[in-house]
Amino acid sequence: MTERITSIVRLRVQLGQEKEFRALIQRISAICATFPGHQGTRIIEPANPEAERVTIFSFDSYENFLAWESSPQRKSCLEKLNELVEGEVLREQISGLDYWIAPGEKASATWPPSWRMTTIAFLAILPLALSIPPFFRPLIPNMPILGSILAIAAVTIVMSYISLPLMVRIFRSWL
C-alpha cells in the first residue's frame, strides 16, 4: 500500500492582487482535481489580506503526486502565480501520519502543541475503541485474538480516514 502525501504551500499575495490570486488558485485546484489520485485541495484564506495564505493538496500516493508536480499544467499555473506572490513560496510535503508522529521535526509557529494533538487523537479514538470491538466479538466467538486483531484494524482505518480528519476540522480553531 502506498502512503498518502500532502503538499502544503504557504505564500503571501501582493496587495491588490487578491482577486486574481483567488481566481488562479481556484483554477489550479480544478486542474489538480483532474489528476489521478487527487484526494482534495483545501484553501485557507486569512482574514487579513497581508497574512500568509495556505493551500493543501492531497494525493493517494507519491507517484500520483509526482505526476501533478511535474505536469506542464502545473508549471504554467506556477508561472502565473509567481506574478502575484510577494516573497518566497514555502512548500512542505508530509506523508502518512508524519504530522501526528513527528511534529518536533517540523516545528514551527503553525504546528499545534503536542498536548492538543494528543487530546484530538484521544477524542477521535475513544468512541471507536468503545463501539467497534463489541461488534466483532459475536462474529468470531471461538477466536478472540482474531476478533481483537480485526477490531484494532477497523479502529485504525476508521480513525485514520474518518474520525481523526473530522476531529481536526471540528477543532481547527482550537488547534
The fold of 5-102 is: Alpha-Beta Plaits (3.30.70)
Do 155 and 125 form a contact (C-beta atoms < 8 A)?
A: yes
Q: How many CB atoms lie within 10 A of CB 102?
A: 11
Q: Across the chain, which distance is largest between two alpha carbons, in Å? A: 69
Instruction: Supply the pLDDT for residue 1.
Output: 46
Do 20 and 77 form a contact (C-beta atoms < 8 A)?
A: no
Instruction: Supply the pLDDT for residue 112.
Output: 65
pLDDT, block means (10 residues), the chain with 175 residues? 78 91 92 92 82 88 91 92 89 66 45 76 90 84 86 89 83 77
What's the burial of 112, exposed, middle or buried (CB within 10 Å: 0-12/13-18/19+)?
Answer: middle
Contacts of the segment 37-43: beta carbons below 8 A, 24+ positions apart: 37/61, 37/63, 37/64, 37/65, 37/67, 38/64, 38/68, 39/4
The pTM is what?
0.56
Show me where the domains of the chain are located. Answer: 5-102, 114-170
Instruction: Supply the pLDDT for residue 73.
Output: 93
